[in-house]
Amino acid sequence: MKSLRIVVRHHGGPEVLETIEEEAPEPGRGEVRVRVLFAGVSFAEMLMREGLHPEKTPLPFTPGWDIVGVVEKVGEDASRAWIGQMVAALPIHGGYAQHICLSQTELTPVPDGLDPAEVVSLVLNYVTAYQMMHRVAHVSPGQRVLIHGAAGGVGTALLQLGRLMGLEMYGTASLAAHQTVSDLGATPIDYQNIDFVAEIHRLTGEGVDIVFDGVGEANVWRSFNALRPGGRVVVYGFTSFLKTGQLAGGLRYRFRGLLRPAWHALRAFLSPGRRRVLPYSIQVLKRWKPDWFREDLSALLDLLREEKIKPLIAERIPLSEAHGAHELLGQGSVKGKLVLICDSS
């Protein structure tokens, strides 16, 4: 059976995403083969494509952190009960494909009746938001939070989960995205024309309890200055590497992505006011506490089934046009989650 897959043979721009046709992979011992329905598109994959992500993947590789699909074949020692089951997984790479083989321990069952495109939005974006809120920041109802990139995939997830928690929310976004941020229950801040630190203090007085910062670099310390005493900045991304629609190349960015958060955390620890900078990495936490990932994704699936959350799908794009999805994400104006249609049926 023939199967399509996206391959990166050398680092570079969206043009290095190559579509190949090959025989569908066979599951090994303890593995299942998943017919992928949708794969998510994320900034992490752009960084990996350029060779800048701390999660180093040897060339050649297939991008794709998050997938939803249906189990169609099992290998030796894997349970046949999986066959026909819709599942979600976070393979970190390999998701841009029509078929993928994964260990059965990587799978989370998906309840019937859910839109798989919405489900794939949960796997990376919503789990990231959920874990930052509940596993790292330990938010409490009524707290004030600032969310950077509030109209993006993780940003809209944080807004929806924060509204369920009864948080007082502020979100940085471009003017074109302010209505989206407002509709999700937050006060929008035009970061392009307004100093968000001064604006937060104007709106709140002493500052916010928590900042969720996916921008990185110098923005982290500005976020720190928007905190009230005892507040926390949770750092989880590096969108500052995006310059005029392209990723800023160079090995130095990879080291800065690793070292700057540690420097900011130390600097915060030595500063007065009991304020802290806390790093978050979904893949690190998943490897350290795999049960947490499954628990948190299952909790989010319940919220989706109960219609308490509604992922915002920016666009559904065919797998063979993955390069176009990366170009679109690189423009920096995507609202919600971009997903790749891997199974045309």
Task: Specify whether the CB–CB gap between 336 and 311 falls below 8 A.
Answer: yes
Query: Which run of H or of E encompasses 208?
Result: strand 208-213
φ/ψ (deg, to 5) at 245: 85, -5
For residues 27-41, average pLDDT: 98
Per-residue pLDDT at 253 exceeds 80: no
In this prediction, residue 220 carries a pLDDT of: 87
Task: Specify whether the CB–CB gap between 290 and 107 falls below 8 A.
Answer: no
Tokens of 80: 């046949």
Domain 2-121+304-341: which CATH number of 3.30.413.10, 3.40.50.300, 3.90.180.10, 1.10.10.10? 3.90.180.10
The ranges of the chain annotated as CATH 3.90.180.10 are: 2-121+304-341
Strands 186-190 and 168-173: parallel
Look at the block and give the residue holding tokens 């019937």: 112
d(CA 219, CA 221): 6
pLDDT digits (tens, 9 = 90+) for 283-297: 999 999 999 999 999
For the chain, the C-alpha Rg in angstroms (whole number) is 20
Which CATH number is associated with domain 141-280?
Answer: 3.40.50.720
d(CA 189, CA 194): 7
φ/ψ (deg, to 5) at 230: 85, 0
Task: Specify whether the CB–CB gap between 228 and 209 falls below 8 A.
Answer: yes
Give the predicted TM-score (pTM) of the model.
0.92
Give the distance from CA 322 to its chain's centroid: 17
Our CA angle for 62, 14, 26, nearest 5°, is 15
Alpha helices in 218-289, H assignment, sequence order: 219-224, 251-269, 282-288
Q: For the chain, what is the mean pLDDT?
A: 91
d(CA 238, CA 275): 21
pLDDT digits (tens, 9 = 90+) for 130-181: 999 999 999 999 999 999 999 999 999 999 999 999 999 999 999 999 999 9
Per-residue pLDDT at 108 exceeds 50: yes
The ranges of the chain annotated as CATH 3.40.50.720 are: 141-280
